[in-house]
Structure 1
């Protein structure tokens, strides 16, 4: 049996440099311990005792290329689910997609690019939304030529995306009626997306860094580009250059959506910043002439982002990185293992509200309702001002018929969130802001257009 692999500082630095050079993932520059865990597992698999051995493997022609793909799959964090970031999907539903449909009425041709698509939940969510909005506009989606491209650096994620089979964890923000309308059950806990949505989306391997190379990356023009929770892994100057490269691939008046935590800036003149309820979007000028030249070399200034007051204390034990690893495992379909990881961590750090919350969401997705309720209540006990725990618990109680307590819990949630700055990002809210949650709560009370919003707020 092989002993532990060796990670001398110089060798680890060479590995880190090789990974950042190849992938651009600046994320690992100050997280060498995380990279060491992932690389150590790959080295053990191949019997490599030293960093030098593994670097030699990565340089070994076709064999090295295959290992690079496996390593890229292992080091990318693919946490995602359907209709993630409800505020942005509300903007897509109410503003962006209707405008695109109206503008394309003559050609009936739309192109969308989902960068960092992971298991396909994002591009498939767009396919579902587009189909519904076309039908509401009196159009037959089958008469339109809709191309939705999903790209990712993880070959494992792309294989899962093409399969289009999802667990309750990935469908956690979809109500049962929607799940029945959009998916077919293939086992008690797995659902397959209907063919009418699958055929609108195709997937391919691509590193977003290819955009910075001559003729690199998918060719435009695209009407909509989504690049959410991708640029946070890159250095700021590199991220801004990538956005300008995306802008050069937009059709006139095409749109770009970035994640809430991306290093966004003022990208004028190649992109106009559009403030929509709860989010920012970026739109190309009406005339496409010269946009690529306009986007080259534009000086960018970092936008000041509000500093959120921490609602949840972070204990010892690197809670954020543990949560990221648990989510990665769950997204890979190993939900039972992810739940065990939560239990193991909480045995050491019983005050870690972040992992208690994650454990509750996992348990709910697996149908362990009593366990989920207990974990949500534990979060509220440990962090009295935790908004999202009350939000989820209200929904869980309502589903179980506990209307009175559900309404009380929801009112507590609203009272708490009103005390927060509107642009504050709520802990464990997947980018949801306080103002955005209040808006969704009002929309749910009035009868929201998109039912998945009600999953979060009602």
Structure 2
């Protein structure tokens, strides 16, 4: 008989089947997700549910995978990525394929379809009148049947279209009450299928996962263990055509303990990342200047300090905020964070979480300002220096990024090696220092 607690058994099963190490330290969130299925099945204890899950196999697994998948996304998420696709990556691929008139594109972890449909819009716009002469195959894959059903329906609320103006909405969508339905000419370009990306690491990966001209893998590897992320990235490069492009997200770049996560050859990364990875080799003088506290950007969720600030204790407040963010409930998390900051404007932790939420919503300027506020309040906030450095690096500001990463490195080196760093999700000072050394080496700087 298995003597492990039920939550640990469930966690082991989830990680083994899906690769979602994301839940390794999120027992409460995983239990909440499992409880939805327990209620649906009329099961009262987690132990009974885990045993049932082990017996029933794929049918119940699919339902649980739907429940545990974080699926918040929207059209043209991360404008800098789509600017690179529109202005560099796709034009270069189209030019290289003019003889064969064919493009094969794979969107991994496509969720509700916003990413592959965004790419479809770009491709059709770039090809223009020549589109009918081309064979364009775009595949969207996800482990969640619920997400794939939503993707095939191509029906969205205004929140999913928040990066698009009225003219673009009218151009690409048909209005249906409070919702927007993607026009047929774009829907017909994308095919959706259920995929478990861990199949790449099996001895017999699917034969059809090959010869792609462009693979998008954004905000997917962050759920894997570092080792699996490295192995998956390496496997994805083998799924490309000889001059294909593997497009990773900003979040994946922060996992780059292993250089394979940063590059698989200069031609396989968007220009912005190549520029960030190959800065001038002449080292710049290093100085540390305390950041100036910037003004608080306007927030539509801002409230009066006298209004209710949510849970009473700091720990309860932070737990509530993290739980909302972990569940993908970003709008609610932003509202709560604004309330908490209004109640306690000198909390560096709150400004740090404000930065994360702004980064998720593509508010890069706001995220930078929030991180600088956090560092003004606590200049020894190691992970805030690290996150700011990675944000600046992704924006192409290599010298500024180098300075922040050096500060983080020196603070991590001075901290107690084995102790987890504040707000680092259990990462120790020694582990982060090693990550920072490798990241600094990747941009030509000794830690």
Give the TM-score of the pair, scaled to structure 1: 0.64
**1:132 CA displacement:** 0.9
- The match for 1:288 is none
Query: Is residue 2:216 matched to residue 1:226?
Result: yes
Greater Cα shift, 49-58 or 171-180: 49-58
Spell out the pairing of 1:185-334 with structure 2 (5 A cutoff). 185-187=175-177, 189-217=178-206, 218-262=208-252, 263-264=255-256, 265-267=258-260, 271-273=264-266, 276=270, 278-280=272-274, 316-327=318-329
Deviations 1:157-199 (CA, angstroms, capped at 9, x unpaired): 1000000011110100011111111111011x21111111111
Pairing 1:33-112 to 2, within 5 Å after superposition: 33-61=28-56, 64-112=57-105
The residue that corresponds to 1:302 in the other structure is none
Q: Equivalents in 1 of 2:396, 2:321: separation in Å?
A: 23
Partners of 1:30 and 1:247 in 2: CA distance: 30
Aligned mates of 1:229, 1:269 — CA distance in 2: 14
Deviation at 1:357, TM superposition (A): 9.4
Residue 421 of structure 1: how far off its partner (Å): 11
Cα 1:221–1:70, aligned 2, differ >3 Å: closer, same or farther? same
- Counterpart CA distance in 2 for 1:190 and 1:129 is 22
- Alpha-carbon distance in 2 for matches of 1:93, 1:384: 25
Q: 1:322 to 1:100 in 2, by over 3 A?
A: same
Pair 1:164-2:166 in alignment: no
CA contact (8 A) 1:323 1:355 kept: no
| Match for residue 21 of structure 2 among 22, 26, 29 | 26
Q: Report the CA distance between 1:321 and its aligned residue.
A: 3.2
Deviation larger for 26-35 or 314-323: 314-323
Question: Relative to structure 1, is the Cα distance of residues 424 and 110 closer, same or farther in structure 2, using a 3 angstrom cutoff?
Answer: same
The match for 2:120 is 127
Instruction: Report SS of the residue matched to 1:261.
Output: helix
Q: 1:267 to 1:432 in 2, by over 3 A?
A: closer
> Within 2, Cα distance between the matches of 1:186 and 1:354?
39
CA contact (8 A) 1:256 1:281 kept: no
1:142 maps to which of 132, 138, 142? 132
Preserved contact between residue 255 and residue 281 of structure 1 (Cα < 8 Å)? no
Query: Aligned pair in 2 of structure 1 residues 237, 45: CA closer, same or farther (>3 Å)?
Result: same
Seen in structure 2, the aligned counterparts of structure 1 residues 145 and 423 have a Cα distance that, compared at 3 Å, is farther
1:52, CA displacement in angstroms?
A: 2.9
1:425 Cα deviation from its structure 2 partner: 5.2
User: Quick check: 2:89–2:270 contact (8 Å CA) kept in 1?
Assistant: no
Measured at CA, do residues 69 and 172 of structure 1 come closer, stay the same or move farther in structure 2, by a change above 3 Å?
same
How much does 1:348 deviate?
7.5
193-202 or 212-221: which moved more? 212-221
What is the alpha-carbon root mean square deviation over aligned residues? 4.1
* Unpaired runs of at least 5, structure 2: 277-290, 297-313, 345-349, 373-384, 399-447
Counterparts of 1:133 and 1:177 in 2: how far apart (Å)?
18
Identify unmatched segments of 5+ residues in structure 1. Answer: 1-7, 283-308, 329-337, 365-375, 389-419, 437-458
Shift of the 154–426 alpha-carbon distance from structure 1 to 2, 3 Å rule, reads same
Task: Give the paired residue count.
Answer: 339
